[in-house]
Structure 1
Amino acid sequence: MNSKLTETQQKAICSQLGNFKLNLLYKASIHGFTGAAFHQHCDNKSSTVSVGYNKSGHVFGGYTSQPFSQSRQFVNDNQAFLFSFSEEKLNTYPVTNAPYAVKMDMNSGPNFGNTLILVYKNQKKVYSNPGSFGGHLHSKYYNFTAEKMHGNDLDLTECEVYQVEESFQFENPWRTLNWNSEQKKKLMERIESYKPSISSVSEARVLLVGPVGAGKSSFFNSFKSIFKGHITSQATPGTSSTSVTTLFRSYSVIPGREGKSLPLVFCDTMGLEAEEKAGLNIAEISNIINGHIPDRYQFNSSVPLQSEAQGFRKNPELKDKIHCVAYVIDASKISIMSQNMEDKLKAIRKTVNSSGITQLVLLTKIDEVCPLVKEDITNVYKSIYIKELMQEASIRIGVPLFCVVPVKNYSEVLELDTNIDILLLSAVDQMLNLVDDFFDEQRE
C-alpha cells in the first residue's frame, strides 16, 4: 500500500511524538469504508495516527496512544490530540477532557471523543462536532474550528490509519563521512604521509588493549589488508575465552609488496580477562606505555616484567613509548560487561591518564548488533542503537564521545569492501589526530 500522507507530513506528525516512524495499517480505498474493515486492521494496535482526506484537499485526523477496540466505551488518553495541515504546516489540538479522548465505536472508523469521527456510520463521511456544549456526549473534548480542520467539507476521499513504531535510525547521519573511493584514497594518502610533529620520533605507536575476543588482532589485520590490497592475517585473532596473543608484538605495515613502512606501529597485547590473575596483568600497562617492554616479550599473567629482568628497557626514549591507547571493545558485550572487567579497564585508564597519553575506543562487531548496519555499513551513523552503544562505551571507558569510533573488522569475506575500509581508515585517522595532541603536550 502506498501512503497518501506525504513524507513531510509524516515527519511533522512524528516530530510531536519523538523518534518514531509511521507504518500504514488501514487504507479505506483498499480495505473498505466500513467500521468492520477499520477494526479488522487496527484493533489492539497502539499507538496510532488516523488521517482523513476530503474533496477540498484538507488533511486532518488524530493521534491516540490507546489501542482501538469495539467496546463502545470512552477511553482515557491524556496524550491524544487532533491535527490538521495548512499546506505542510501542522496544527495540533490537544485533548481537553482526557477521560473522553477516544470512543470505541463498532460502526465507524476512528472516533475521537464523538468530536471527530472518520468513516462515520460506514460511509465516506466525517462527523465533526467541534463546539457543542451540553451533556457529556456533546462536550467539547478538543478545541478546533471546522473551517481550519476540514473546511466544512465532510466528504471523505480517503482514510488511513498508521501504527506509530519506534524508529531505529536518524533522518540524517549524526557524523558526516563520505562513502566513496575518493575518500578512501584521501584517507590512505593522509596516513601514508603522516609525520610526527616531534623530530626525534619517526612513527606513531598505538597500543591496542581490550578483552579477549574483542578484535584487537583482527583490527590490525583488517587495517593491514587495506594497504596490501587483499585480506591478510599476520596477527592471530582469538575466538576462545582465553587470549591467543601471549607475546607483546609491535606490528608495522608496508604498503603493497615492497617499500617504506607506514609511519604507524600497532602494539598488540595479551587480552584482558574478567577473572583475577588471568589475561593481561594490569601492572604491566605501566611498563608497556612507558616503553620498557621489548617486542616479542612473553607475558606472565601472575608477575609483571621486573626492572632487573633481561630485556627490560631501562631508559626508553619518546620514540619507544606509546603515544595513544585504543581500547578495543566488542559492541555486543559492552552492555553486559562484568564489574571485574570494568574495574580492570578503569585501572588501565587511570595509569594511562597519569602519563598524559591520549585514548580512544574502537567499538567492533557493530554489524552483529544492528540489522540496519548489517544490511548497509554506511548506516552506522544513522543507527540510533549504535549511537547508544557508543555513548555507553564513552561512559564505561571514560572517554569523550568523539573518541569513540565504530569499526567492522574483516572476519568472513575474502574481498575488500570500500565502505568497510573507509570506516577503518577513519578510525586510524582519528588515532593520528590524538597522537598529535599527545605530541603537542610533550612540546609544551
Structure 2
Amino acid sequence: MLKASKMFNNGYRVFDKENIGIGQKCHIGASLLICVFPQTTPTETNVIPTMNPKLTQEQEKQLCSLLGNIKLSLLFKASIHSYTGAAFHQKCDHQGPTVSVGYNSTGFVFGGYTSKDHDVAKQGQYIQDDKAFLFSLTGRNPVRYPVTNAQRAVKMHNTTGPYFGEALLFMNANTATVISAPGNYYNFNAAEMHGNNLNLTECEVYKVEEGGNIIEKPWRTILWKAERRKELMESVKRFRPMISSVGQARVLLIGPVGAGKSSFFNSVNSIFRGHVTSQAISGNSGTSLTTQFRTYSVKAGRDGKPLPIILCDTMGMEEATGAGLDVDDISSILKGHVPDRYRFNPSVPLQADAHEFQQSVNLHKRIHCVVYVMDTCKVSIMSTKLEEKLAAIRRRVNLLGIPQLVLLTKVDEACPCVADNLRNVYNSQYIKTKAQEVSGRLGVPMSCIVPVKNYSEELELDMSCDILLLSALIQMLRFADNYFDDVNDQEKHD
C-alpha cells in the first residue's frame, strides 16, 4: 500500500523510492500526484493530472436525451492515456455499451454510441449493432445520426480509437486526428457535426450504464387490470358535459415538434377501434408534420357513436421566431375563431378580417381544456426560447380561465426500467424527477402532470399502455368539467 512521505497544502503528495518504482504512474483519489524519484532535481518532478470528464453537465443532459436514463463513467481520456489504439483498447475493451466523444479547437463536440463491446482481438472485423448512432452536441439541441448499415456499425482496429463503420474514426493511425466520411454506413453533414475540423484537442470514452432507480412505493397509485381498462373506457363513453348546449368537451393539444400530439390522438383512437390506427399524420421530423388545425372526434368502434371528447391538434412549436405555431394563433383557437383544417402560416397569424376567421362563436366551439404535450427525453434540454413561448401561452390560457394539463410522453424511451415494464412508470424515480422538473419549468402542479406512452411501433394493443392513455383522457374530461363549473358560476353571478 502506498504511503505519502509528505503532504503539501496545495493537495500534492510526494512519494519516495520505497513506495513507488521509478517511472510508475499513481492515482490517489482526486488529487494531483507528484512522484519524486531518486537523484532527481525539482525540475524533473512528474505531475500526473487527474482524469476529470470534459463533458459539461449540459452536454451530459443532451446525451441522456439521446440515450434515456443512463449513467456515464469515464473510461478513457486521450490527453492522459495517449492518442493510441493500444491505450484505447486497454481501457475500453469488454466494457459493454460506450459513448465516444471528440472535441476540436473550434468548439465542436461530436461522437458515436455503440451498444456492443470493443474488442481488439477482433482486429479488422465489423460488429453488427442496430442501436449504434453518431451525434453532435454543438448546439442546444443534440443531433442524432442513426446507423444506416447495422452490419457494419463498428469496426475493430488496433491502431485507432473508436471506429464507426468507415464513417467516423477517432485517433487515426495513433494520432490526434479524425477521419470523417459521410455516407459510409452513417449519413451526416460534416460541417454540422464537426465544422470540418478534424484535429482533436481531446477524445474521451464513457461507459454507459442504466441509471434506472426503482422506488418501492409508487408515487402514484394505479390499478393494472383488464377490469380497470374496461371501467375507464366506460367512464369516457358515459361522460356528458354539464352544460346542455355543449355536446363534446374540446381539448387542445399544444407542444414542441415531435413531442407526440398527433400520436396521442392516434393512440386513443386505437383503443376504441380495437386495433392500432394512424388517422392523424405523425412521425419524426425536424419540423412539424401537422400544418393544419385539426379537430378529431373519437368513435366508439368503427361504426360507433362519437365519444364526448374532441381532440384538437395543432402545428408543433419551434423556438425560432417565425417558425412553428404562433402564440397569437393559440389565442384565436382558444376562443373558437379557427375552423377545422385551417392551414397555419407561422409568419402571419390568422387575422380577424380574414375569411377563415369565425366571428360568431358559441361555447361549444371554444377550448375547454389545454394539454401541453412534452417529450420526457427532452425536458432537461428545453431551450429558453421554447420555455418563454410556453410561458406566454400559459399566461393567455390563464386569462381565459381554462384548466391545463401536461402529458409526459415517451416515458419508455426515457427510462430503461419503464421500457422493460411499463407498469414501472410510477415506481421510476427518474420519471418522477422529470415530472418535477416539468412542474418547476412550466409552473404546473405535479397533480396536473400525467405520464403516457403512445403507440409508435406496435401492431397490437397493450393493456398497460391503454390504462395510462385512458387515465390521461379521464383527467382531461375532469378538467373540462372544472371549466364548465366556472362557466355556470359566472352565469349565476351575472
TM-score category, normalised to shorter length:
0.5 to 0.7
Letter in 2 for 1:316: V
Contact 1:212 1:238 in 2 (8 A): no
Measured after TM superposition, the shift of residue 394 of structure 1 is: 1.1
Cα distance in structure 1, aligned partners of 2:278 and 2:361: 30
Matches within 5 A, 1:167-246: 168-246=213-291
Aligned match of 1:388: 433
Letter in 2 for 1:314: Q
Matches within 5 A, 1:306-325: 306-325=351-370
Cα distance in structure 2, aligned partners of 1:239 and 1:391: 26
- Normalising to structure 1: TM-score of the pair? 0.62
Cα distance in structure 2, aligned partners of 1:167 and 1:275: 34
Contact 2:212 2:417 in 1 (8 A): no
Cα distance in structure 2, aligned partners of 1:166 and 1:261: 43
Which sections of structure 2, spanning at least 5 residues, go unmatched? 1-27, 30-209, 490-494
Residue 262 of structure 2 aligns to a residue in which SS? helix
Aligned match of 2:200: none
Aligned match of 1:285: 330
Q: What are the superposed Cα offsets for residues 144-198 of structure 1, whole Å, 9 maximum, x if unpaired?
A: xxxxxxxxxxxxxxxxxxxxx9981211212111001100000000001100011
Matches within 5 A, 1:6-405: 168-405=213-450
Cα distance in structure 2, aligned partners of 1:259 and 1:273: 37
Cα distance in structure 1, aligned partners of 2:294 and 2:239: 22
Cα distance in structure 1, aligned partners of 2:283 and 2:349: 22
- Normalising to structure 2: TM-score of the pair? 0.56
Match of 2:460 among 397, 404, 415: 415
Measured after TM superposition, the shift of residue 259 of structure 1 is: 2.2
Aligned match of 2:101: none
Contact 1:168 1:383 in 2 (8 A): yes
Letter in 1 for 2:381: I
Measured after TM superposition, the shift of residue 238 of structure 1 is: 3.3
Instruction: Please state if 1:431 is matched with 2:476.
Output: yes
Letter in 1 for 2:387: E
Contact 1:238 1:245 in 2 (8 A): no
Aligned match of 2:23: none
Which sections of structure 1, spanning at least 5 residues, go unmatched? 1-43, 46-164
Residue 277 of structure 2 aligns to a residue in which SS? coil
Measured after TM superposition, the shift of residue 256 of structure 1 is: 1.4
Residue 206 of structure 1 aligns to a residue in which SS? strand
Q: Which runs of 4+ in 1 moved over 2 A?
A: none
Larger Rg: 1
Count of aligned pairs: 282
Measured after TM superposition, the shift of residue 311 of structure 1 is: 2.1
Q: What value does the CA root-mean-square deviation take over the aligned residues?
A: 1.5
Letter in 2 for 1:382: N
